[in-house]
Amino acid sequence: MKIILIRHGKTRGNTLRRYVGSTDEELCPDASFDYVYPDCDAVVSSPMKRCLQTAKLIYPDKDVKICPSLRECDFGDFENKSYEDLKDDVRYKRWLDSGGDHAFPNGEEPKDFRRRSVSGFYASLEEEAQNVAFVVHGGTIMAIMCELFGGGFYDYMTDNGGGYVVEYDGKEKTARGFEPLMKGEKI
């Protein structure tokens, strides 16, 4: 089975370098995608507007199945704020010093977010026995890739519209390898 993990297109919050998790932003009006996206048999998406819009732009002829567990992390008090907004906040400094492992004030625990994302991923795969594209968030992709390949959470960061193609054996729940999506002609 081939799994395509795609990060949603750019939003206003992304252009302003804000932590956008539970804020339900739409794509920027001029959002473009300069990657080559493999064909798929099914599309699964986070319920957030930015993911649903991206899924429809990349795979306009496919039905999109929504998986609520694949939504981005709730950044709590850091939600929709940038480094500039937070740089003097002692709670933010503590969070940075933890390597992103501490909970967000009034937000989601990173370990709970990762567990939720991986659980939603596996549950979605059990419903599909074919090649599946997941249109989700950067953090969701990082959680899934860590589950499949190990390594550090931040090892799998990807640009808006970017992502990975993974060969997956669902019986053993193991992945054999992955490659980043390649840039190509714009769609």
State which amino acid sits at residue 70. L
Per-residue pLDDT of the chain (187 residues), as tens digits, is 889 999 999 999 999 999 999 999 999 998 888 888 999 999 999 999 999 999 999 999 999 999 999 999 999 999 999 999 999 999 999 998 888 788 889 999 999 999 999 999 999 987 766 899 999 999 999 999 999 888 888 899 999 999 999 988 766 555 666 677 777 654 3
Which architecture, in CATH terms, is 2-180? 3-Layer(aba) Sandwich (3.40)
8 A C-beta contact, residue 186 and residue 34: yes
For residue 175 the two structure tokens come to: 């992945």
> How many whole angstroms separate alpha carbon 3 and alpha carbon 167?
6
Domain positions in the chain are 2-180
- What is the distance between the terminal CA atoms of the chain, rounded to a whole angstrom? 25
Give me the helices (H) in 70-183, please.
83-86, 90-97, 110-127, 138-149
Indicate the pTM of the whole model.
0.91
pLDDT score of 100: 79
